[in-house]
Structure 1
Amino acid sequence: MMKATLSLCLLAAMLHLTVHSLTQTDHYNDKPKTTHPQELHPHEGDPLESCQQIVPSNTNFAFRFYRQATTQERGKNIFFSPISISTAFALLALGSRATSQAQVLEGLAFNLTNTHEEEIHNGFHHLLFLLNRPGSQVQLSMGNTVFMDKHLKPLKTFLKDIKKLYKGKVVSSNFQNSTEAKKEINDHIKNKTHGNINQILKDLDPNTLMVIVNYIYFKAYWENPFNIKGTHKDYFHVNAKTSVEVKMMTRDGFYKTYSDRKLSCEVVQIPYKGDVAALFILPNEGKMKQLEEALTTDIVSKWEKSLERRRIELYIPKLSISGTYDLKKMFITLGVTDVFSDQADLSGITGRPDLKVSKAAHKALLKIHENGTEVAAVSGTDFLPHSVPPVVKFNRPFLLLIVDQHTQSILFMGKIINPNEK
């Protein structure tokens, strides 16, 4: 039988930096020296323990970002990679100083009285190490690339920290020719996401001197594929007035599930081969808002602990979902304002205080089908027809979390309101 892939998700979080004023450059040497993360020794200790310092904050950030997205995109599908956005902004914090840095880290849901900057960067260092683990049956790769104008002189410590802590590479580009720079960046993302995101960057501000790109590529096989022969036309109820026709996949089998009576929702965990699982959450009619307001780190860990293996007849629509976000707008709403303004202090990058972030964008994409390739068919059913299991049918708006089980990190998060929305 041919191995079939389940899905592709990718994503890019981008930050553009531009020069905002050249008047203050004379004073930048007077600043007191602060401790830099390069004085750390990132390989010490247990990587899992180190990344547990940041995972709860990353999860809180995911829900914070999700709420922002729902207020901006009412009635629209939502899909993003919280881990990608967090990593790109943590890398930005590495080059930020003073209030600019504190705002970015607090915007990422870190409590700076309990957690030191070093612990945060070390946590990301170990998280990237664990997510990019080789030999797993899941294809998961995440990295950072910094495109920097060839006239910009980055600090050696910044370059060293990017490589050591963020698996990052720095590419010297000619931003004087913005068409060429734009093509270089788009080609890089296209390559890193295996052709799935062709054009993350539509235009490039002529004053841009630096672009930070985080990409994540995810491809996995369901542990138990759906039988293609079972996929049939069915209706998905977008709301009380609108239904759309979808291709509904179905499988009768054992899944870990939980009925949350308090939040009136069904939770079904569908594992991928490897150490990643999708959590599908189906609220009862009219209960989506209540569920969204209740989303916290504690609720998700309660679900994870309460899951019990039982036989169900599961129905899930085939779908291809994507999301594109203006991160600048969303982070400003989260209180991260300085880095986007003339108050920005990004002197940790070049030693000069005249850079600011002019644009930040994010794009994510996911396809879900029977097993990933359309040709493989699985014949036979798992059970005899005489016993009828309970039916769980995802035929109305639902939430989706894709979680790396090893680190408990949310790789992707989405809300599917209409599986056919383009």
Structure 2
Amino acid sequence: MGREAAMMSVVFGCVCLTVLTLLTCSSACRSVAPKPVTVFSWPLRREREANQQQQQLNTSALNTALAFGPYHALATRTAAEPGVQQQQQRNILFSPLGLASALTLLCRVSGSDSRSQVLEALGMASNSTEQSVEATISALTDLQRSLTLQEAESEGGARTDAGIGGATEGVDAGHRADAGDGEGNKTGTEDGGHAGGQLKVWSSLHVDGKPSLDYENFLSTPGPAAFNTSFETLIKNLQDSDKLTLNNYVYFKGLQPFERHHTVLRNFHLNATTSVEVAMMFRDDSSAMTMLYDTNCSATVVRLAHSRRLASLLLLPKAELQPLEDCLSDSRMSFWLSNLKPGRAEIRFPRFQLRKSYSLESLLRNAGVSSVFSQSADFSVISQKKTLKLIKAPHEVMLEVEETKSEDRGRPDIMLDFSIPPRITFDRPFMLIIYDSLTGLVLLIGRVIDPTDG
């Protein structure tokens, strides 16, 4: 019994020592191992920031005031121009995101009625508290920053970088970030292929005649932050001048999931009697995408993603473009996004470059923003000069659409539950909407009457 007791004591001691060792090791491991929250900190923070943007931005009001309202005004104006017939209407392209960027800048330097009109165009009441105004401006600024780098690998391995610059601090600032999806991953599309987008937005308020970033330099500069003008510099320059200029620039290069070696020259029909030759991209039906046919608007709607956030709605009318334009609204866009269905079809879409220039006054007039462009403009925040006026405010936008490699990811066949043609060919006037799929905010909107008229 004594020997057995001794053996039991030894065994018990070994067990205790083993348990103690394991507990010590476990404690040490816990002290050096990363906490689980660290692994998910980026996506969780991104999700929180996105939710904050959605809560602080009245996206529906922004789209109505800065996208669909100005579009209808431009379409009506071009149709009414002397000598312009229905079949000779012109291309339209502008950026609601760029307009929002310009308005946030004007909000910071305007007072009185000028500021009230700007606030209402941004979806806020004219008597909004300073806290709510700052929250909205901050959300718009954060939105610009979050729509940063999207990288794509073309078939040949070329990399496309995208940055965004805009009015973010004081009077005029830029921002450029180089990141993937926030977790170190390259972003791709959910529509069956790699794509990408390059987005840049720039708003700059300066004294007329002082050096400023023109559009050509904006296009060629990787990051426009070097051209910043500080708030203090602007106020100092105003001592010698009473004329202000506001430059508002936007550039977007959209890589679509088409294979380059399938691009061929084909006819694009401007109207019943006239056509032009364009480079037509092609995508077969081996990859799923989302689409629908809207009987109320008599148009086919195809969604193609550039990244996790940037996406395009391609709108092809059955016949004339006007019925589609007439039913265009924020509620109709919401209907499209809610009813898109997965399916397969052959797509032909033109490769083109489109550049347009307007005055901010003409685009924002229908949104109720007029005081800031008038003789009664109030810029008392930056100067007490009663003669201080905004004499020029150009809004310049360029859109480039190119193809990139499309890959079949082996998705199962998906049958459509509605009738849609097996081939969708954009060989006649169409519309497009480029938007942020997270907030629903329209970034660019336009119509293409002639893809060769860049």
1:406-417, aligned counterparts within 5 Å? 406-417=438-449
Residue 160 of structure 1, CA deviation: 4.8
SS at match of 2:356: strand
Note if 1:277 corresponds to 2:311.
Answer: yes
Query: Equivalent residue for 1:59?
Result: 63
Over 3 Å counting, the alpha-carbon distance change for 1:208 and 1:285 in structure 2 is farther
SS at match of 2:300: strand
Deviation string, structure 1 residues 117-171 (Cα, Å, up to 9, x no partner):
64344223223323323565472413128xxxxxxxxxxxxx7586799x99999
Residue 216 of structure 1, CA deviation: 4.0
Instruction: Work out the CA distance in 1 between the residues paired with 2:91 and 2:123.
Output: 28
**Equivalent residue in structure 2 for 1:78, among 68, 74, 92:** 92
Residue 285 of structure 1, CA deviation: 0.5
Over 3 Å counting, the alpha-carbon distance change for 1:208 and 1:252 in structure 2 is farther
Over 3 Å counting, the alpha-carbon distance change for 1:185 and 1:210 in structure 2 is farther
Residue 116 of structure 1, CA deviation: 4.9
SS at match of 1:366: strand
Instruction: Work out the CA distance in 2 between the residues paired with 1:378 and 1:302.
Output: 28
Note if 1:211 corresponds to 2:245.
Answer: yes
Instruction: Work out the CA distance in 1 between the residues paired with 2:172 and 2:138.
Output: 10
Note if 1:87 corresponds to 2:101.
Answer: yes
Note if 1:141 corresponds to 2:141.
Answer: no
**Equivalent residue in structure 1 for 2:145, among 132, 144, 167:** 132
* One-letter amino acid of the structure 2 residue matched with residue 73 of structure 1: T
Query: Equivalent residue for 1:189?
Result: 218
Tell me which stretches of 4 or more aligned residues in structure 1 moved more than 6 Å: 161-165, 167-174, 377-383
* One-letter amino acid of the structure 2 residue matched with residue 252 of structure 1: D
Residue 189 of structure 1, CA deviation: 2.6
Residue 418 of structure 1, CA deviation: 0.8
Note if 1:356 corresponds to 2:389.
Answer: yes
Query: Equivalent residue for 1:342?
Result: 375
Deviation string, structure 1 residues 227-248 (Cα, Å, up to 9, x no partner):
2222122211112222212111
Greater share of residues in helix: 2
Query: Equivalent residue for 1:399?
Result: 431
1:4-43, aligned counterparts within 5 Å? none
Query: Equivalent residue for 2:18?
Result: none
Instruction: Work out the CA distance in 2 between the residues paired with 1:91 and 1:410.
Output: 19
Instruction: Work out the CA distance in 2 between the residues paired with 1:345 and 1:261.
Output: 48
Over 3 Å counting, the alpha-carbon distance change for 1:164 and 1:370 in structure 2 is closer
SS at match of 1:143: coil
Over 3 Å counting, the alpha-carbon distance change for 1:219 and 1:346 in structure 2 is same
Note if 1:68 corresponds to 2:46.
Answer: no
Report the number of matched residues: 339
* One-letter amino acid of the structure 1 residue matched with residue 70 of structure 2: F
Give 5+ residue unaligned stretches, structure 2: 1-44, 80-88, 152-160, 178-200, 225-239
Instruction: Work out the CA distance in 2 between the residues paired with 1:365 and 1:242.
Output: 25
**Equivalent residue in structure 2 for 1:365, among 372, 388, 398:** 398
Normalising by structure 1, what TM-score?
A: 0.69
Query: Equivalent residue for 1:325?
Result: 358
Note if 1:390 corresponds to 2:392.
Answer: no
Q: Is the CA contact 1:84–1:215 (under 8 Å) kept in the aligned structure 2?
A: yes
Give 5+ residue unaligned stretches, structure 1: 1-42, 146-158, 196-205, 372-376
Deviation string, structure 1 residues 293-334 (Cα, Å, up to 9, x no partner):
221111111101101110101110111111110222343455
Deviation string, structure 1 residues 364-404 (Cα, Å, up to 9, x no partner):
11111212xxxxx7799989xxx997111111111101111
Q: Is the CA contact 1:58–1:409 (under 8 Å) kept in the aligned structure 2?
A: yes
* One-letter amino acid of the structure 2 residue matched with residue 284 of structure 1: K
Greater share of residues in strand: 1
SS at match of 2:378: coil
Q: Higher RCO, 1 or 2 (CA under 8 Å, sep at least 6)? A: 1
